[in-house]
Amino acid sequence: MTYLKKITATLAFASLSGMALAAANPLSVHILDLQSGQPTAGVTVTLEQKKDNDWKQLSSGVTNAQGRIAAMYPLDAPMQAGDYRIVFKTGEHYARLKQETFFPEIPVQFHVEKTDQHYHIPLLLSPFGFSTYRGN
């Protein structure tokens, strides 16, 4: 097999593996910059679960070139019903751009009842505002 064919096969397998991982994971996030209309790469995002009156961090990740984290929920455990919070660390992004922002962190709290469903949380971002919703 030629070198180019090996690279193509490797990339195809990695892509399929990533899609399978995302399909199996119950939670994903996506950030789009409303000013530029482009995905927002390089933003740290944490997932927390409410236990009693405290928040316990379950995972963290960094958005990819498409502004996504396809598998946000820990891979070693099934999703449980309960209260969760995603925290988008947007201040880092705007600091890299040397741009002022009013929201250095954006916490999004949500409740999960149906653990067999996929939950997608997109964030539409600008320096002085944001919007979110349950996507699919």
Q: What is the pLDDT of residues 86-135, one digit of tens each?
A: 999 999 999 999 999 999 999 999 999 999 999 999 999 999 999 999 98
Domains identified in the chain and CATH numbers? 27-132 (2.60.40.180)
Q: Does 118 show up as a binding residue in the annotation?
A: no
Token couple for 33: 């910059």
Q: What is the mean pLDDT of residues 34-48?
A: 96
Would the annotation count 134 as a binding residue? no
Measured CA to CA, the distance from residue 130 to residue 136 in angstroms comes to 19
Query: Is the pTM of the predicted complex or chain greater than 0.85?
Result: no
Rounded Cα distance between 6 and 51, Å, is: 47
Name, in order, each residue with C-beta under 8 angstroms of 108's C-beta and a sequence gap of 6 or more: 85, 86, 87, 88, 121, 123, 132
**Above 80 in pLDDT, residue 23?**
no
Judge whether 3 is annotated as a binding position: no
